[in-house]
Amino acid sequence: MSSTLWRAVHQAFGENLSQWVGQSVLEIDENIKTNRDGLKAGDYLSLPSAETLHALFMTCGLERLQTIIARHTSPKHKGKSGVPDLFLFATNQTTGLPTIARFVEVKKPEEPASTVQLEEIDFLNGLGLHARVLRLIEAE
């Protein structure tokens, strides 16, 4: 995931997140096309695919999404990120809804996670989301 994910969602979709959380993948895709131009080029903001945004919105729900975006757009958080590298999810083939979702920070065996990354993982877990650091095992 982009380190600017939550700021990009805020910039592209605005304050009224309730209209986005219940949308289908197709509706989100149309809104991405409409709102992508609203991203400031100099801010290096990037949105993931409509499928990923749909899963994020469904997994987080409105209240948690608002809390996450408020954190990442606050002046106190300026210059920080901590957004995990990956958002992994499985989608039920019948309902189209995410059934399992995880935020994952990937590190080499001896690579330390930064304080900001660990704080973000604790924050996400504190919201009832599933986040963790996974370490790669390098084959020789």
Kindly report the number of other CB atoms within 10 A of residue 137's CB atom: 7
How many residues make up the chain in this entry? 140
DSSP one-letter string for the chain:
--TTHHHHHHHHH-S-THHHHT--HHHHHHHHHHHGGGS-GGGT-----HHHHHHHHHHHHHHHHHHHHHHHHSGGGTT-----SEEEEEE-TTT--EEEEEEEEEE-TTPPPPHHHHHHHHHHHHTT--EEEEE-----
> For the segment 13-43, what is each residue's pLDDT rounded down to a tens digit?
777 788 888 888 899 888 878 776 666 555 6
State the pTM of this model.
0.88
> For the segment 81-121, what is each residue's pLDDT rounded down to a tens digit?
899 999 999 999 898 788 899 999 999 989 999 999 999 99
